[in-house]
Structure 1
């Protein structure tokens, strides 16, 4: 039957995800569920697909079916916990809490922007701001061009962010387009991409401060922050996807990131999107929200 096998259907669905065609992905994952309704893998993939399309209830149902079939299905359990979590842990909630304190932002520098969805979540908080999206993976070029063409306040560059302008090595699995990482050294599966510094982009586009810097860069944060050093004193908020494990040779762990940012005058004020790994349900990553250490919130050390 070729691609009509269960494995073939999953492969077709994952290929559709890689090219950004969620409708086709849903079609193939739904067919895989019909073909093998007692296989939790198909329910997990369908649930992920539905969640990406905003069908939270459908995603919960699919993940629940996967857990009902296999109570030890770690991927389903992790995603189900994520879907059922308190909304306080979601990025829009954290951004809204911060904006409500009067924090000003005139430019959002969204690094690791993928399709621009993070910036779209931030825009309700700072609707007047400029949004500049930096993305190294050419897979997202068409979607970013479409988004920026429709949104006058949005701009983008297909490049990795780093310490200076030039070129850098980059790798990304086409089957997992939301991943990817830059590296100063070439490795298996790497290719060369343009590199820009955030300070250089601010100067090139004359982007006004204060700035919000968001990094979804999988361990390559230190060089990016070095390239942002000239604008950090005009930065009011830095959001960094931070890890508990060494996912990259140069990655800073949770406590190291906090110390690094403290040296630059920033403290953690909030968090969002915690993720527990499938392997053993240990905390894998969390987005940390850093604001300037002289913010008035830090002058009060009591709970109430």
Structure 2
């Protein structure tokens, strides 16, 4: 098979992923691997696909094969380290630690919800809570509708979260649907989407506190938190994907986010999902878990 045919299989597989057809994507990536077994790209894409479907061992094997072919295959190395990492760094472990501290949550506001997987991970910790999923990318509409149809405690809105009700500019790549970012300015590749405030959604739906606010919003955190100002006093936990580098002109860096949340009465108690960038292994991002600064943990400065 010619290189262009393998490239076509990989492109078709990525399109299948964007369409939510993981089984179809797996078949296409497997064909690409069979056609070009010494090309690490096919093994990387197959490994990613297997991991999304819960086949962790299969994903490790595919990524290991990619690294054996090309020791500098950064995507494979990064994902392999991720697959082999300590589970204490994963979101479910961090959520369980938070729940064990007695942090109460009656409503979860999941912003940047994609297909709802984060809320599904949080539900075992707070099984009686309401879960409201806010997602700007219409790509996820069908999956969110299906999830909420089967889960009475779940609701969703296809809109960006921001400081006020209205509209905002948004961009995302259908072939990388877990990305996406909102902006207050129009630009090439951006389109207008509805915007809601978290305080407005709480009032509209009558969601009870205390609240858990989760933000996976790629630099648009400040306007969203401004729109949540009225409910922050009733918020017990805020989880924010936070960056070490500027991923967006208005993004708050790690130290700026900590200072911003401290001004609003929150301190970091935990973290999860650290990610190191590919080309130099510098720490890129992590999820920070902020709780109220009057919690008893912060009154004790001992290590042991």
Say if 2:230 is the partner of 1:230.
Answer: yes
Superposition pairs of residues 212-231 of structure 1, within 5 angstroms: 212-231=212-231
Tell me the SS of whatever aligns to 1:82. Answer: helix
Aligned to 2:14: 14
Runs of 4+ in 1 over 3 A off after TM superposition: 1-4
Which residue matches 1:278?
A: 278
- Residue aligning to 2:169: 169
* Alignment map for 1:1-304 (pairs within 5 Å): 5-304=5-304
8 Å CA contact 1:3–1:12 kept in 2: the answer is no
Aligned mates of 1:276, 1:208 — CA distance in 2: 37
Query: How big is the alpha-carbon RMSD for the aligned residues of Structure 1 and Structure 2?
Result: 1.1
Rounded Cα–Cα distance in structure 2 between residues aligned with 1:2 and 1:68 = 23
Structure 1 distance, partners of 2:274, 2:16, is 27
Question: Equivalents in 2 of 1:50, 1:141: separation in Å?
Answer: 24
Q: What 5-or-longer segments of structure 2 have no aligned partner?
A: none
Cα distance, 1:279 vs. partner? 1.9
Secondary structure of residue in 2 paired with 1:5: helix
Once the two structures are TM-superposed, the CA of residue 200 in structure 1 deviates from its matched residue by: 0.1
Distance in structure 2 (CA, Å) of the matches to 1:60 and 1:42: 14
Partner of 2:241, secondary structure, is strand
Inter-partner Cα distance in structure 1 for 2:273 and 2:10: 27
Residues paired across the two proteins, number: 304
> 1: CA distance between counterparts of 2:100 and 2:259?
26
Verify the 8 A CA contact 1:2 1:8 in the aligned structure 2. Answer: no
* CA deviations over 1:174-217 (Å, ceiling 9, x no partner): 11000000000001100000000000000000000000000000
CA contact (8 A) 1:134 1:160 kept: yes
Provide Cα deviations, 1:80-133, integer angstroms capped at 9, x if missing partner: 000000000000000000000111000000000000000000000000000000
TM-score by length of 1: 0.99
How far residue 4 of structure 1 moved from its aligned partner, in angstroms, is 7.7
Question: Using the alignment, how far apart are the partners of 2:86 and 2:97 within structure 1?
Answer: 15
Q: Give yes or no for contact 1:18–1:175 (8 Å, CA) kept in 2.
A: yes
Q: 3-state DSSP class of the match of 1:110?
A: strand
CA distance in 1, matches of 2:9, 2:281: 29
Q: CA deviation at 1:3?
A: 11
TM-score after normalising by structure 2: 0.99
What is the SS of the residue equivalent to 2:31?
helix
Task: List alignment gaps of at least 5 residues for structure 1.
Answer: none
